[in-house]
Chain A
Amino acid sequence: DAGVTQSPTHLIKTRGQQVTLRCSPKSGHDTVSWYQQALGQGPQFIFQYYEEEERQRGNFPDRFSGHQFPNYSSELNVNALWLGDSALYLCASSSRDLYNEQFFGPGTRLTVL
């Protein structure tokens, strides 16, 4: 079992650009959540997807959007990047049973110059 995988590992963009990050959930999981972890801070919830729909959303602007595919993999898109978007972006997968834990991927380090 490969666990949760994310790509790319690192990414450098300039202000105003758009970025797409990808996540493949752990085998058997159908729910994907995305988190932003700024340097020196705890992860902050961006949104959660299952059944190919956004089910919950944190306090992030509409520049942050996502998608879930029929195979449960997911993408996070961020438009109009600004310096403050520089962070580690973590994907977590789980099955829908609330008693189950979320498994986190290694993250994508995004740097906006």
Chain B
Amino acid sequence: DAGVIQSPRHEVTEMGQEVTLRCKPISGHNSLFWYRQTMMRGLELLIYFNNNVPIDDSGMPEDRFSAKMPNASFSTLKIQPSEPRDSAVYFCASSLVTPGQGWPREQFFGPGTRLTVL
């Protein structure tokens, strides 16, 4: 398996533009997580899905952020409009969660998307 795939790897955009980050989880995994990493705030969970359904989006900063998972093999994180403070590395991770086997299970992270908003 190729692991978790994220695209693009780097994105530079101007304030006010729409940004879409993409993630392909590991085949067979049923949970997907979006994280943001900055020097100031460290690694923060933004949202996670289980079986394509958003379970916890309490970490999404504000209405400018939205995430979707239309099927088991694809997810997007969209920022509209983007602001300089959104500059960060965004990670996608996937996991196989089986009821009754404990939480959280091992998460497999993608390489991340480094976003710079000018």
Question: Are A and B part of the same complex?
Answer: no
Please list the residues of chain A having a beta carbon within 8 angstroms of any beta carbon in chain B. Answer: none
Please list the residues of chain B having a beta carbon within 8 angstroms of any beta carbon in chain A. Answer: none
